Amino acid sequence: GENVEQHPSTLSVQEGDSAVIKCTYSDSASNYFPWYKQELGKRPQLIIDIRSNVGEKKDQRIAVTLNKTAKHFSLHITETQPEDSAVYFCAAFSWAGGTSYGKLTFGQGTILTVHP
Amino acid sequence: ETGVTQSPTHLIKTRGQQVTLRCSSQSGHNTVSWYQQALGQGPQFIFQYYREEENGRGNFPPRFSGLQFPNYSSELNVNALELDDSALYLCASSLQGNEPQHFGDGTRLSIL
């Protein structure tokens, strides 16, 4: 089955710096890669996603890049703010062959702390 | 547009008991997935429901079961509760499997 590795597990930056979180996946058939932000005690919130036919996607200060050959994808946050502090999860979607069933496999999460 | 709602928010049970958690999907979403999130971990896929049928299952034993109703709402049932079942249980809905999944606030289950 799919396996997603996420690094680093913790990331501390100064306000205004950039932050980069990296994930690798194992199933070359995975075709959809969302990123979620989870604040303490709250639901995971979808912040950006990318499909396998696209190499990069940007939404204001957030961007995601995908390298299908190397099977890795990254989240880039520019001009970080204290309110960006949270746990960030990457995930990969893969279909079970011959069925309409597919599932998301999540990374272990990155605790991002942005210091004012 | 109504988001994903889950109930109850918190629940305390003892070992061996049974529990039912509920989820109302986002308006128009026909696919519901359930996840278990242990403290400090990423969500782990339990199973998915599509058109009232279980459409796939992760590495969870049969004592984890579910239902989906005609209005696409869903239940997660866990029998013979164990201490390791203590976790945040998240429900996510989507239009179909590989469409964006939107999560509810979860049910925090504690087993004593």
Query: B56 and A104 in contact by Cβ < 8 A?
Result: no
Is the model's pLDDT at A101 over the cut of 80?
A: no
What rounded mean pLDDT belongs to chain B? 93
Q: A91: number of CA atoms within 13 Å, CB side? A: 30
Q: How many helices, marked H, and strands, marked E, lie in chain A?
A: 0, 11
Answer yes or no: are the C-beta atoms of A12 and A113 closer than 8 Å. Answer: yes
Q: Which of B4, B10, B55, B98 to mutate to test the interface with A (most CBs of A within 10 A)?
A: B98
Predicted confidence (pLDDT) at residue A98 exceeds the cutoff of 60: no
Residue B81 pLDDT level (bands cut at 50, 70, 90): very high
Share of chain B above pLDDT 70, in %: 96
Phi, psi of A96 (to 5 degrees): -80, 125
Quick check: A68 pLDDT over 90? Answer: yes
Q: A84 — phi, psi (to 5°)? A: -80, -10
Q: Is the pLDDT of residue B1 over 60?
A: no
pLDDT of residue A99: 60
Residue B1 contacts residue B50 (beta carbons within 8 Å)? no
Give residues with Cβ within 8 angstroms of A47, minimum separation 6.
A35, A36, A37, A59, A62, A88
Taking the CA of residue B40 and the nearest CA in chain A, the distance in Å comes to 8
A97: confidence class by pLDDT, cuts 50, 70, 90: low
A100 pLDDT above the threshold of 80: no
Give the mean model confidence (pLDDT) for residues A57-66. 97
